[in-house]
Amino acid sequence: MKFVHIADMHLDANFNSLNNIESLPEKRRLEQRKIMRKIIDYIKENNIEYFFIAGDFYEQEYIRKSTIEYINKLFEEIPNTKIFITPGNHDPLLKNSFYNTYKFASNVHIFGKNIEKIEEKEVNIYGFGFTDFYCKNSEIENIKIDDKNKLNMLIAHGSLDGGNDDYREYNPISKKMLNKLGFDYIALGHIHKKTYNDEIDQRIVYPGSTIALGFDELGSHGMIVGEFINKDLSLEFIKLDDREYKEVELDITNMSSILEIVQEIEELNLNEKNFYKIILIGKRNFKIDLKEIRKLIDNDNIVKLKDNTKISYNINEIAMQKDIKGIFVKKVLEKYNANIIDKETMEKVIEYGLEVL
């Protein structure tokens, strides 16, 4: 028995990290559709029997009906594949959600609030869906598997073994508890980092987000393909997103102007398919104006700039001077030592002040 497992597609997401470049967020939403086409084509070509979508398939706030119509047409192209969707915290089963108001293809099953078991010839599939943007207890721990001669699979959206407030708001579940339930495979969603080969014979799996959504999601993104031969499971990760978010550090210690920074950035060997955050590091001898640098860069794949540089002034030496610069720095340091301002603010104030003086 073969299956495809995805999660956290976030169809029609707003892609905040790309908003600096006109039309780029909309192009990225188009790429989401293209990736769904890739998935459906793979399912067709490989005779996949089951397609699991473990939550956050779309963004409730931004999803368009035209997108749902496009996705449903894709679902209709694979009538022999049974599709199971568990709504998550970004696409909960609300009264006005498309899960409730739109008639999906006959091969699509959408799980609701109560844990449900779907009995197939060779597998029993359990699942539940968020009915709000939060879920503090899905009662997964109360599931009793009643036929261990068949394959038993669980589809769920939630936080595994977390400890912060966010973890407690989004269906907190423990790995120890899940292992006790005895499922042959648990298809999870919510965490955007893939975890499918962290241990031998892994059965609790996050596929990660299907398409990278920002710079907190570095690396490759795609889907999990699984195959059961009797009770033996093999898993494979297949990359679907041609783009990756990358961070590149640029040391400006020996540079003397914004133009030099721009020149160095433009000479970087960057892959035109990827999105880049350029992080400036080192000691600076002049004021860094990220907006000015952004205007001068002729590369739409560089979508974010960050200044992690430190001023190269010897602050303590300047504070000992008897001129106006020394008096200025001494006053700023007094405010810092009195905890009136933090270190970052202190450094910025001194940098800008000394530049003016």
> Domain containing 170 — which CATH number?
3.60.21.10
Question: Is pLDDT above 70 for 166?
Answer: no
Average model confidence (pLDDT) across the chain: 93
Question: Is pLDDT above 80 for 29?
Answer: yes
Give the pLDDT band of residue 355 (cuts 50, 70, 90): confident
Rounded Cα distance between 158 and 169, Å, is: 9
Instruction: Give burial (CB, 10 Å; 0-12/13-18/19+) of 50.
Output: buried
Q: Token pair of 310, please?
A: 């430190």
Stronger pLDDT, 233 or 312, i.e. the higher one: 233
Boundary-marking domain end, from 213, 239, 265: 239
Amino acid found at 39: I
Rounded Cα distance between 302 and 279, Å, is: 11
| Residue of 143, 137, 214, 231 lying closest to 179 (CA atoms) | 143
Q: Are residues 215 and 262 in the same domain?
A: no
Give the pLDDT band of residue 162 (cuts 50, 70, 90): low
Question: Is pLDDT above 80 for 167?
Answer: no
Q: Token pair of 344, please?
A: 């970052």
b/e 24-48 (16+ beta carbons within 10 angstroms → b): bbeebbebbeebbebbbeebeeeeb
Q: Are residues 24 and 6 in the same domain?
A: yes
- Number of structural domains in the chain: 2
Stronger pLDDT, 33 or 201, i.e. the higher one: 33
Give the pLDDT band of residue 311 (cuts 50, 70, 90): confident
- For residue 87, is it left (φ>0), alpha (ψ between -120 and 50) or beta? beta
State how far Cα 60 lies from the chain centre: 16
Tally DSSP H helices, then E strands, for the chain.
10, 18
Rounded Cα distance between 6 and 294, Å, is: 36
Residue 172: the pLDDT is 87
Q: Token pair of 110, please?
A: 């959408």
Residue 23: the pLDDT is 85
Question: Is pLDDT above 60 for 163?
Answer: no
In degrees rounded to 5, what are phi and psi of residue 84? Answer: -120, 125
- For residue 12, is it left (φ>0), alpha (ψ between -120 and 50) or beta? left
pLDDT mean over 141-161: 93
Q: Token pair of 302, please?
A: 């560089």
Amino acid found at 301: N
Contact 225, 2 (CB under 8 A): yes
In degrees rounded to 5, what are phi and psi of residue 85? Answer: -120, 130
Rounded Cα distance between 72 and 83, Å, is: 11
Q: Are residues 190 and 73 in the same domain?
A: yes
Contact 99, 60 (CB under 8 A): no
- A 10 A CB-CB count for 154 gives 27
State how far Cα 100 lies from the chain centre: 26
Q: Are residues 203 and 222 in the same domain?
A: yes
Q: Token pair of 43, please?
A: 């399912």
Contact 73, 98 (CB under 8 A): no
Q: Are residues 187 and 286 in the same domain?
A: no
Query: What domain range is 350 assigned to?
Result: 245-356
Boundary-marking domain end, from 205, 239, 273: 239
Question: Is pLDDT above 60 for 165?
Answer: no
Q: Are residues 58 and 203 in the same domain?
A: yes
Question: Is pLDDT above 90 for 184?
Answer: yes
pLDDT in tens, 269-305: 999 999 999 999 999 888 899 999 999 998 989 999 9
Q: Are residues 139 and 125 in the same domain?
A: yes
Q: Are residues 306 and 283 in the same domain?
A: yes
Q: Are residues 112 and 41 in the same domain?
A: yes
Q: Are residues 145 and 272 in the same domain?
A: no
Residue 33: the pLDDT is 97
Residue 18: the pLDDT is 86
Query: What does the angle CA 62 – CA 68 – CA 72 come to, to the nearest 5 degrees?
Result: 160
Q: Are residues 31 and 159 in the same domain?
A: yes
Give the pLDDT band of residue 344 (cuts 50, 70, 90): confident
Boundary-marking domain end, from 187, 214, 239: 239
Contacts of 205 (CB under 8 A, 6+ apart): 5, 185, 186, 187, 188, 195, 196, 224, 235
pLDDT in tens, 40-83: 999 999 999 999 999 999 999 999 999 999 999 999 999 999 99
Contacts of 203 (CB under 8 A, 6+ apart): 183, 184, 185, 186, 233
Rounded Cα distance between 249 and 282, Å, is: 10
Q: Are residues 145 and 215 in the same domain?
A: yes
- Tell me the whole-structure pTM to 2 decimals: 0.86
Residue 164: the pLDDT is 58
